Structure 1
Amino acid sequence: MLEIIIKSIKKTAKVINEHTDYPTCPGIYGFMLKENSHLNEFGIPNQVLYVGIAKDSLKKRDLENHFSNKSTGRSTLRRSIGAILKEEFNLKSFSRNETNSKREILNYKFNVDGEQLLTDWMTENLIVGYWKDEDSISYSELRKLEEEVIKFLKPTLDLDNRTRKYNLLAVKLDDLREICRKEALSNVQI
């Protein structure tokens, strides 16, 4: 099954705007860098950066969440890419809902202009592919399959507690995200 999923992710991979009939079923997806794209030491062309699951709809998760200017607080992919590009794009971090709640700081977002720069960078530099769960497997089974895919592909933006040990850049990425969290906390107006 692992081989089928990976082949499907790679076969369906294209820029987000070229996906005209993106699936609305559950599945596993992977974000990769396009040819001639880099993400500092976190990625080279065609490298898988991030693997995730959509328990309800691939379309909703990938198009409406990861590529939405208003979704950084709900997308670990966006938070990680933003943390990596923070200095280059002069991104400013804020609490997701402007409170100092630990969860809202952990799930920070960026300034409005920064969110647009992040979306533009992702649209320009990423491709996304998927495997559709056409058999309606259980969520727990879908998570097990996701874990197998992550173990095999070792995506550089993976911070999942189950698989982060396979990501040699996890600590460095955590450090960059911590900079964003500290700034988000300092930007809370009390």
Structure 2
Amino acid sequence: MKGKDTFTMSEISELRSLINERINSDRSRQKGIRAKMRRIGFYGSDDFGITDLQPSDFEMLISSGRLKVIGKTNKPPTALEPVTKDTIKQTVTGKANGSFKLFDPSKHSSNDIPDNPGNYIVCLKEGKKLPNIGVDYTMKTYQGLNVIYTGIAGKSLRKRDYRQHFTGNNAGSSTLRKSIGSLFGFPKIPRDKDPNNVKTKFKELDEIRLSEWMQSNLILFYKSNLNPETLENELIDELNPPLNLSKNRNIINKEFRSKLSDLRSKK
């Protein structure tokens, strides 16, 4: 082994940041970032046989025990382990490393996401921003990235998280798509031909533009969970995502949420 397989929590945190920086950098910068990772003692290709290391690969090394973290139990979690309130707090504060798995819609396959119920957190990629609507808002971070939304999948994370949010062509079926498209000011049209259905979506070209923007600008963290509702409430309270309108009573970002609600209602 050229490097090492045991790291401190601070080293793991620094490696996570470097990995995220590397995948968003051009080739001229990636070599320097790899050198920084090696100075910490991490050799992805030589020691673990991984080329073009992705955040999900790094988290898998941790959860499988191939990478050991000082102060952390490396027992892999059960796929559908019920989540307790204590686990929720650790997840939010980052103490339970690997609890949520990272998915980059611009790089990873949807087959990486389990076909199980669970929770998800949506973040902006480093340096990315939401469309400006003239109202200030604040964001908390998860694994160093700004959180904009959290939600649940009652049946399938794969179908709800990726297919409806990131590749769907109907904002009427995705609260997240509806909110982001409304921030862009896309005009709305009826979702279907039923005159009694007041739900709306965006024009086909705008739906395509929305999917492309989301895949280029957003990162998804997901967690299989048999009881996602309890964790959802905890995450909304703890993270106060600006795009979560339902169940969010935090006075911070109240003006932004009110403006977003108006934009969502606008035809």
TM-score (norm 2): 0.56
Instruction: Find the residue that maps to 1:32 and give its secondary structure.
Output: strand
Q: CA contact under 8 A between 1:28 and 1:53: conserved in structure 2?
A: yes
Secondary structure, counterpart of 1:13 in structure 2: strand
For the 8 Å contact 1:2–1:148, the answer to whether it is kept is: yes
Does 2:203 align with 1:111? yes
**Equivalent position of 2:40 in the other structure:** none
Aligned to 2:223: 131
- What secondary structure, in the 3-state scheme, does the structure 2 residue paired with 1:16 have? coil
Matched residue, 2:167: 68
Relative to structure 1, the CA distance from residue 31 to residue 71 in structure 2 (aligned partners, 3 Å threshold; closer, same or farther) is same
Give the letter aligned to residue 115 of structure 1.
E
Bigger Cα displacement from structure 2, 45-54 vs 34-43: 34-43
Residue 159 of structure 1 aligns with an amino acid whose one-letter code is L
Percent identity over the alignment is 34
Unaligned runs of 5+ in 2: 1-86
Match of 1:170 in 2: 257
Q: Which runs of 4+ in 1 moved over 6 A?
A: none
Aligned to 1:187: none
Number of residue pairs matched by the alignment: 166
Q: Higher relative contact order at CA 8 Å, sep ≥6: structure 1 or structure 2?
A: 1
In terms of fraction of residues, the more helix-rich structure is 1
Change (3 A) 1:158 1:10: farther
Per-residue deviation at 1:55?
Answer: 1.1
| 1:97 partner SS | coil
- Partner amino acid, structure 1, of 2:258: V
Q: Calculate the aligned-residue CA RMSD, in Å.
A: 2.3
Deviates more, 1:150-159 or 1:15-24: 15-24
1:43 Cα shift? Answer: 7.0
| Distance in 2 of aligned mates of 1:99 and 1:43 | 39
Question: Which residue of structure 2 lines up, in the alignment, with residue 144 of structure 1?
Answer: 230
Q: TM-score, normalised by structure 1?
A: 0.77
Q: 1:112 to 1:9 in 2, by over 3 A?
A: farther
Q: CA offsets per residue over residues 139-179 of structure 1, 9 Å max, x none?
A: xxx2122111111000000111x224454221011111122
* Superposed displacement of residue 18, structure 1: 3.1
